[in-house]
Amino acid sequence: MNTDTTATPHDAIFKTFLNHPATARDFLQLHLPASLQKLCDLKTLQLESGSFIEDDLRAYYSDVLWSLKTREGDGYIYTIIEHQSSADAHMAFRLMRYAIAVMHRHLAAGHKKLPLVIPMLFYHGSASPYPYSLCWLDEFDDPESARQLYSTAFPLIDITVVSDDEIMQHRRMALLELIQKHIRKRDLMGLVEKLAILLVKGHANDNQLKALFNYLMQAGNTTHFGEFIHEVAERLPQHKDKLMTIAERLRQEGHLNGLQEGHLNGLQEGHRKGIQEGIQTGLQQGKREEALRIASTMQADGIDPLTIFRITGLTAEDLATRSH
């Protein structure tokens, strides 16, 4: 690719002609495809600055940019008329980058909708006819897949509309998705059982747990963060030391300024009993069925009964009654 295109006499003469409104109008009437020309009100042509071009493209920039209104009234169409005296295998992609830059500047000016941008290439090089496609999708190894991807809506993962039950089946993504779905809730204590289940399954390493706790501190409800961590740790005695070590490390790094020392050393026996009583009261008031459902899921996943009892607060009799 010739990086001196803007300094050539070819470019100078081209711009001298195409920067003139009447000449540009004749050019568009002659060479703009009829289906696109029907959209344009050529009487509204206005020469635009090329200052929107990205720095890494500026060396290759030799085009003229005109804006115009549509025939349907307000609305903008931009025509990029690019001049080339040599063939460029990536010209289509370069024109696409110009077009995106024009769209970006249009939005930055306060417009709410993207404009149509029509790139056109004026070529008079030695290789004839022009040897490369001007459809940028043809530059991919698999043009058909590229057309499918870039002509339809991009994949969307809207975690706000995914049920918690479905998220719990998302393996190593479940922890992240569950926390980010609920991070704006004022009380995250309702997630304790689900988090414990996912941690039992080994769905996070130490670095991920540290990042998760740090995220909860930064973006979640920090008032009950210490209680939240202890509630999770109490359900996972085999991981309690690791969880508390991570929490302590965050505290030492200044992330847990509001966490009292007593919360890092474990709950006092009376406080722990109070929490258990609160859980039982909650179960009696409607959480019992939720706990049984969680227990059923854990059983299906092959988690041992003692862990199920510890996490849900249920007993063997509760599960036996459920099965009957």
Give the pLDDT confidence of 20-66 residue by residue, as tens digits.
999 999 999 999 999 999 999 999 999 987 655 555 555 555 578 89
Predicted local confidence at residue 43, as pLDDT: 94
Residue among 317, 259, 272, 265 at smallest CA distance from 292 = 317
**pLDDT tens, residue by residue, 244-283:** 777 776 666 654 444 444 444 444 454 445 545 554 554 4
Calculate the alpha carbon distances from 299 to 165, 172, 221, 292, 305 in Å: 15, 19, 31, 10, 8
- CA distances for 84 relative to 30, 63, 88, angstroms: 18, 9, 8
Q: Which residue has the tokens 């085999």?
A: 238
Contact (CB, 8 A) for 218 and 179: no
Name the pTM for this structure. Answer: 0.69
Mean pLDDT along residues 85-105: 93
What percent of the chain stands above pLDDT 90? Answer: 42
State how beta strands 116-123 and 73-84 pair. parallel
At 12, give phi and psi (nearest 5°): -60, -45
Q: Is the pLDDT of residue 2 over 60?
A: no
Question: Comparing C-alpha atoms, which of 221, 309, 234 is closest to residue 266?
Answer: 234
Segment 112-126 mean pLDDT: 95
* Exposed e or buried b per residue across 35-55, where buried means at least 16 C-beta atoms within 10 angstroms of its C-beta: eeeebbebeebeeeebebbee
Lowest mean per-residue pLDDT among 6-10, 62-66, 226-230: 6-10
Whether the per-residue pLDDT at 6 is higher than 50: the answer is no
Say which residues have a Cβ less than 8 Å from residue 218's Cβ, sequence separation at least 6: 255
